[in-house]
Amino acid sequence: MDISGQLNQEQAVGTGARRGGLRAWLTRNDNARGYLLLSPTSIMVVLLLILPIVALIAISFMTQRGFDLDTSLTANNYQTFFNYSEKPIYITLLLRSLQMSLTATVLTIALCYPMAYFLAFHVKKHKVMWLIIITVPFWTSYLLRIFAWKVILGYDGVINSGLISLGLITEPLEFLLYNKLAVTITLAHAWIAFALLPIYVSLEKIDRSLLEAAGDLGDSPFRRFWRVTFPLSLPGTISAALLVFIPTVGDYVTPQLVGGTDGIMIGNIIRTLFGKVNNAPMGAAVSLMTMLTVTLVVCMFLGGTTVARKLLSRV
């Protein structure tokens, strides 16, 4: 590096190049300048992400003894995690969280896709205004939005009061709140904006002449949708699915507010382990297993959609 640096110094032209060592080197060396620009952000990521994850991995192999941490390494926490016959709670909650957030993801996409399609193909004017109108509700506090569903679904809630005043029921329906369905609907509502925008962008980008070509060549609107529009909108739909699925698996607020005991998810047990139970090592193990499972599901999903796209392109 030094030798080539000195060689370059003689070839260097320009005002900054002949001044002092480091600065001259930076002026000439594009890579070094790039890395220098990246270094503050990289240091931040190392300190706040890499180091904490490493610490989380390390502590997950330790043991909590009362208020003290036994630092001798053991895989006991992971054994407890997988010991379904004695401690079924971890596996049960993880699977339930996956199932609930997958359902919420499917529901969110199903709700958003027609709306994104409407925005991309049916709205001709004021598109930005439409987008603003759709995103405004999501500028309210996330917690209050979740809480609003408790007001809608609750015992004295909007739906029950409405049905009673209409005379359709005499007693409030109790199955609306505190279950998996309530969590799923609430999650779907909370994450709509995240799903709508990527789907809309990918639909908006589709070259309209492709659609005309498909129509001219005799495809019915339905076939045209499945063979042209849908495959081309898949990238946005896939990123929408990931944007909803990943954060909702670890969601803590929604199950706590509208889930009841039936709707508790893995995030709630992580919180309990770090809080009341005061077993950070076990909490770390559960967190890591959750992260690993989410990553696995995402990889499987991405692999699956790649295959699906190949199949679709052959239809």
Partner 1 sequence: MAATAETRTPFIKITPIGAYAAFFLFFIYAPVLLLPLFSFNDSQYVALPLKGFTTRWYVEMAAAEQLQAALFNSLKVASVVSIISTILAMLAALALTRYRVPGRAIISGTIVLPLVIPGIILGVSILVVMVQVMGVEPSLWSVGAGHLLLCTPFGMLILISRLEGFDRSLEEASLDLGENRFVTFFRVTLPLAMPGVIASVLTSFTLSFDEFILAFFLAGADPTLPVYIWSQLRFPLRLPQVLALGSIILVVSFAVIAFAEWYRRRGVQPSAKPG
- Contacting partner 1 within 119-148 (CB under 8 A): 122, 124-128, 132-145, 147-148
Taking CB under 8 A as the criterion, the residue among 192, 244, 282, 285 binding partner 1 is 192
Q: Does 257 bind partner 1 (CB under 8 A)?
A: yes
Residues 59/280, Cβ–Cβ less than 8 Å? yes
Q: How many residues bind partner 1 (CB under 8 A)?
A: 85
Phi and psi torsions of 53, nearest 5°: -65, -40
User: Nearest-5° angle of CA 152, CA 158, CA 159?
Assistant: 90
Burial 181-215 (b: 16+ CB within 10 A, else e): bbbbbbbbbbbbbbbbbbbbbbbeebeeeebeebe
State which of positions 258-297 bind partner 1 (CB under 8 A): 267, 270-271, 274, 280, 283-284, 287-288, 290-291, 294
Q: Which residue has the tokens 């209050």?
A: 144
The C-alpha atoms of residue 100 and residue 97 are separated, in whole angstroms, by: 5
Under the binding rule (CB under 8 A), the answer on residue 158 touching partner 1 is yes
DSSP 119: I
Min separation Cβ 199 and partner 1, Å: 13
State in angstroms the smallest separation of the CB of 97 from partner 1: 10
52 binds partner 1 (CB under 8 A): yes
Chain positions 70 to 109 lying near partner 1, rule: CB under 8 A, are: none
Residue 24 near partner 1 by CB under 8 A: no
Of residues 106, 115, 201, 234, which one binds partner 1 by CB under 8 A?
A: 115
